[in-house]
Amino acid sequence: METTNNQNEQLNNLSTGLKKAVALRQFAGTDYFFWKEVPYEGNLSNIQSDFSNEDEETRESGFDEYVKSNCVELEEIDDDTIQFEDKEYYVLTDSEADDRWEDYLINYIEDIIYSELPNYLRNYFDEERWKDDMRYDGRGSALAHYDGHENEEEVGGETFYIYRLN
């Protein structure tokens, strides 16, 4: 989706949670638009066309009211796991992705490796070296359970990392 200078300014002014919502839509190729500095789902041209095809009584209330009544406002993403179009995703900042990755590696060591490793050998296992080896494949291999890919979207000067879970 091509952005205008005005839209770039509006994107810059969004909260991180709304930027995440926009990033997910950009990644999925789903349209969104701004009306009165509020992001909505859909395509503005289509909404305007639908409005012009409405009866006179509906049009009398004005386009602002039509948008508020007929369009879905984007909601902030503040959960760990996001459902979108029957799929689950993580949409994370760089530091959130690093934290999530570190948690994954620690949990893997505790739940998988140590559960199979005899107690007398645990002192010989070098957790940091193992984590360094695992980091070679990148965050996507650990966080994107569906396909192993880390996807990037830039919104309002911030980069968000998207991982598909199912």
What's the pLDDT at 91?
Answer: 96
Decide which of 35, 70, 105 is a domain's last residue.
70
**If the chain, 166 residues long, is cut into consecutive pieces of 10 residues, what is the mean pLDDT of each piece?**
69 91 94 92 94 90 93 89 93 96 96 94 93 92 95 95 96
DSSP letters along 82-117, please? EEETTEEEEEE-HHHHHHHHHHHHHHHIIIIIHHHS
For residue 149, the enclosing domain spans 82-164
With contact defined as beta carbons under 8 Å apart, do 165 and 146 qualify?
yes
Q: Is residue 77 part of a domain?
A: no
Give the integer Cα–Cα distance in Å for 107 and 119: 17
Residues 118 and 56 in one domain: no
pLDDT at 2: 52
What is the predicted pLDDT for the residue at 97? 96
Amino acid 12: pLDDT: 86
| 89, 130: one domain | yes
Asked whether residue 90 falls in the same domain as residue 149, the answer is yes
Number of structural domains, the chain? 2
What type of residue sits at position 43?
N
As separate numbers, helices (DSSP H) first and strands (DSSP E) second, the chain gives 9, 6
Question: Is 38 domain-assigned?
Answer: yes
Q: Are residues 54 and 97 in the same domain?
A: no
